[in-house]
Amino acid sequence: MAESRPPWVPPDIDLRTATLARVYDYMLGGAHNFAVDREVADRLERLVPGSIRTAWENRAFLRRAVLYCASLGIDQYLDIGSGIPTGGNVHEVARSVLPTARVVYVDLDPVAVLHSRAILTGDALTGVVQGDLRAPEAILDDPVTRQLIDFERPVAVLLVALLHVIPDSAHPAELLTRLTAGAGPGSHLVISHFGPNYGTPEQVQALVEWSRGTTTPMLARDPAELTALLGDFVPVPPGVVAVHEWKPDPDGPVSDHSGGYAVVARRD
């Protein structure tokens, strides 16, 4: 039996095709996903046990990185590939340190955009843009971005679990250069990325091969390849490390593995 269309889903959304944002939402315990997304997530967990844990590790890294940036006084954030809102969103984390922090959420997925706008209605310090990293100027020129982000001051640009769906043929280093061209000194890049440490070589290859049949094929990049994307941004300590090893919370749960790499880098 075909899944019935929930009342919150726009009529032009295909319930038969999984998207990265909704798969991630399901992995994090969210409710804005469809049967096809749940099937994909469950298949990933069977293919590489620990995949769901990896989603949580990425979310925990996002929190730690935003707290780090906020501790430096950075009060504006451009979160690209922000996904479907769930607990511990960027504006909530940043405002725990800087109550007037501004955040622009950007995603290509219409469901993610729809729910972000619904949740953030009435919040004058946040905005939502439907956009694609492969068109950075459209993101930067959007009226919402222009209203909330002042690139003459330090800004944190977040790309968490996103760049691994941007192939080399799309020139990701060039995209990041264009995206951050106007970002002033003291700005930061926050990145996590699928890597060869996700599992065994056979598991990583199987996941890459499987993803080629989806709308968002993935590729694994190692620390050197990830560093090469940073341009003139310089990694802050501890550099490019496994996601769970980036400034772990001493009071948080102890983890010994995460599938991918993380880095926070600064423009001087």
Per-residue DSSP letters for 152-209?
TS--EEEEET-GGGS-GGG-HHHHHHHHTTT--TT-EEEEEE--GGGS-HHHHHHHHH
Tell me if 228 is assigned to some domain: yes
Q: How far is 115 from 117, CA to CA, in rounded Å?
A: 5
Tell me if 9 is assigned to some domain: no
Give the pLDDT score at 1.
45
The CATH number that applies at residue 52 is 3.40.50.150
Give the pLDDT score at 116.
87
Type of residue numbered 218: M
Q: Are 104 and 81 in contact (CB under 8 A)?
A: no
pLDDT digits (tens, 9 = 90+) for 200-238: 899 888 888 877 767 778 899 999 999 999 999 999 999
Tell me if 119 is assigned to some domain: yes
Tell me if 6 is assigned to some domain: no
Tell me if 1 is assigned to some domain: no
pTM: 0.90
Three-state DSSP class for residue 5: coil
Strand partners, 242: 261
Task: List the chain residues with pLDDT less than 70.
Answer: 1-14, 213, 252-257
* Domain with 63 in it: 20-266
Report how many domains make up the chain: 1
Tell me if 2 is assigned to some domain: no
Q: How far is 158 from 174, CA to CA, in rounded Å?
A: 16
Give the pLDDT score at 8.
57
Tell me if 8 is assigned to some domain: no
Give the pLDDT score at 223.
96
Whether the ω angle into residue 238 lies within 30 degrees of 0, i.e. cis, is: yes
Tell me if 7 is assigned to some domain: no
Give the pLDDT score at 146.
97
pLDDT digits (tens, 9 = 90+) for 152-166: 999 999 999 999 999
Give the pLDDT score at 129.
97
